[in-house]
Structure 1
Amino acid sequence: MAVIDSIPQSTPGPLLSSSASCSSMSDLEDGIQEVIYFVKSFPIIIEANVYRDWPIVKSALGEHDINCHLDMVNSRMTFSTTRTKEPEIARKARHLLQLLSRNVPASSALNIIKVPNCECEIIFTGLSKVNNSYLKELEGQTSCQIFSRDGYVRDGVVFDGFVIAIGPLEGLTIVRKAVECCSKMHPAYNTVTTMLATKKLNDLRL
């Protein structure tokens, strides 16, 4: 489990936040394919990390015929692709850029593209603090990688904290429920609840 450095955010939201844009264009004429592009901004505070990781990100997306561009002047990442043999890859690439914009290391974020059945969740926690040792335990029980940042108030503006989980869907479901419960009950109780949920999940696998 990793604690992400403080990253200012103006607005909370789902996986595709208000700072991201996604568009497509199509033409009915023969020979014209639908083009999808996605633009995601990132905070200046993490630009060195994004710049460092960009070569491996570009290489990984290039393997799927996705063109990507890093605009350091405007702190933006962009990708474009056409709807071809991999319809899911555009969705996965959007998630990848979203993770990078929240300072998740490329080595972990790229699992979205490289690992089969790998997904991600961004769980907003407001100003509630989630115990790091509890999140570490969740990692071991759910086969997910977990990253977190506490919420804070700056100049009267509330910046939501969040927990990011990357892994299999069944594990992400447990992480989301556990994190959302953290603000409502003692973490010790959550640990017991999570262990029971994981045991039930393992029984179903058998």
Structure 2
Amino acid sequence: MEAQSNVDEAPKQRTKHKGKHDKDKPWDDPSIDHWKVEKFDPSWNETGMLEVSSFSTIFPQYREKYLQDVWPTVKAALREHGIACELNLVEGTMTVSTTRKTRDPYIIVKSRDLIKLLSRSVPAPQAIKILDDEMQCDIIKIGNLVRNKARFVKRRQHLLGPNNSTLKALEILTGCYILVQGNTVASMGSFKGLKQVRRIVEDCIQNKMHPIYHIKILMMKKELAKDPTLENENWDRFLPQFKKKNVQKKKGKGKEKKPYTPFPPPQQPSKIDQQLETGEYFLSEEKKSAKKWQEKEVKQAEKSAENKRKREAAFIPPEEPVMQGHKSSTDDKTDVNAMAQSLKQKAKEIVKQKNVKNLDPQAYIAGSEAPPSKKKMKKSKS
């Protein structure tokens, strides 16, 4: 029994190593989540801040009226954390600074992000959420990624999509608030979501991948995360691989090279030279203004005449389409004459048929006496 008890106690004894710090620490408990962000407790910093820290940022003029309206709300939200704020409408700046009541050292950085978001057209109720410990923000500058202005506007529209549908889908899948404004994209959310948003925005503006493909990949990742068996596996074999296709563009006609001449081009006449040639340079101010007014009236009359012609064009009846295979007038006349002759012939035939019906058969029989006519009858009576 004693030997068996010694065997049981042997594995419980811990192997000793050289060193004085090889003992269990209170934070080595597996039940502790080391990645959890705990809410700040004011008792951790009872003395407050030793020095005053402040941040300031400028805002555009069109935001002045809105900021003036929502500033009491912003001020009340910052007062809860012991931060003083100031809105300077003369210089167009917003300033936040620590006070004696400030306990959280990191809240001043959160306040700096708050005024930065407010200056970039983020609504105040949404921007105030940045003061929470779990909420972070990222401002992505996209203005310097593309040089061509028209191309930049077109690619920025790809982020929004029709009726902002693409932007809403990205917000749902990444769990972040996204605002596309001017040359920047402001986003708010977790670190993981902000990393995804930055990659999607940069790929879209640099024309590496359309946001729709990123949305498909995020949806598939969301479905794969539900399966616990695939938790520790590589998901690349499940995700679609989109290859960029280089479409050959039609080569435009290049500029024709002019023959090289060592002499510079002739100097173009200045505005004063043109006025000297026309004689306008020597006219008085009244005559110049009268001439300009006359030219303006002539242009106005031409424009009004053109507008009148366009209005009257709506009342002009359209030309009737000519039927194909239509006969000419000579053909019509010949057809009418032929029809008239055929009708005459038919009328003659009808008259002949009537005469045949009225014939007396006795007149054609030999030896038969013709019936006395009406004239003879009258004579005999007389």
> Taking structure 2 as the reference length, what is the TM-score of the superposition?
0.40
Query: What is the CA RMSD across the aligned residues, in angstroms?
Result: 2.4
Does structure 1 retain, via aligned residues, the 8 Å contact 2:120–2:181?
no
Report the structure number with the largest CA radius of gyration: 2
Query: Where does residue 78 of structure 1 map in the other structure?
Result: 95
Structure 1 runs not aligned, ≥5 long: 1-30, 151-160
Alignment of 1:156-167 (within 5 A): 161-167=183-189
In structure 2, what residue type is equivalent to 1:103?
S
- What residue number does 1:191 align with? 215
- Residue 98 of structure 1 and its aligned partner are, at CA, apart by 0.3
Residue 370 (structure 2) aligns with:
none
Distance 1:86 1:203, change over 3 A: farther
| Larger fraction in helix | 2
Aligned 8 A contact 1:181 1:190 in 2: no
How much does 1:32 deviate?
8.5
Asked whether the equivalents of residues 149 and 162 of structure 1 are also in contact (C-alpha less than 8 Å), the reply is yes
Aligned AA for 2:85? C
Is 1:94 matched with 2:112? yes
Q: State the 1:134 CA deviation.
A: 1.9
Deviations 1:105-159 (A, max 9, x none): 110000001x331001111222341431222111011221111124xxxxxxxxx
Question: Which residue number corresponds to residue 67 of structure 1?
Answer: 84
Instruction: Tell me if the contact between 1:139 and 1:145 (Cα under 8 Å) persists in the aligned partners.
Output: yes
Aligned to 2:170: 138
2:122 to 78, 82, 104: 104
Gaps of 5+ in 2: 1-47, 144-151, 232-382
Tell me what 1:20 maps to.
none
For 1:172, the equivalent position in structure 2 comes to 194
How far off is 1:74 after superposition? Answer: 1.1
Over residues 59-92 of structure 1, what are the superposed CA-to-partner deviations in whole Å (9 max), with x where a residue is unaligned?
A: 0001111111111111111111059530110110
1:117 to 1:34, Cα distance in 2 relative to 1, 3 A: same
Does the CA-based 8 Å contact 2:84-2:99 persist in structure 1? no
Partner secondary structure for residue 147 of structure 1 = strand
Query: For the residues of structure 1 that align with 2:213 and 2:134, how far apart are their CA atoms?
Result: 30
Which protein has greater RCO, CA pairs closer than 8 Å, 6+ apart? Answer: 1
Amino acid at match of 1:111: K
- Counterpart residue type for residue 143 of structure 1: G
CA–CA distance in structure 1, aligned partners of residues 134 and 60 of structure 2:
29
When residues 198 and 178 of structure 1 are mapped into structure 2, their CA distance, relative to the original with a 3 A threshold, is: farther
- Aligned-pair distance for 1:198? 4.6
Residue in 2 aligned with 1:120? 137
Structure that is richer in strand per residue: 1
The change in CA–CA distance for 1:194 and 1:177 in structure 2 (over 3 A counts) is: farther
Partner residue, 2:180: 148
Q: Which whole-Å CA distance do the structure 2 matches of 1:187 and 1:35 have between them?
A: 44
Q: Aligned in 2, Cα 1:166/1:203: closer, same or farther, shift over 3 Å? A: farther
8 Å CA contact 2:134–2:190 kept in 1: the answer is yes
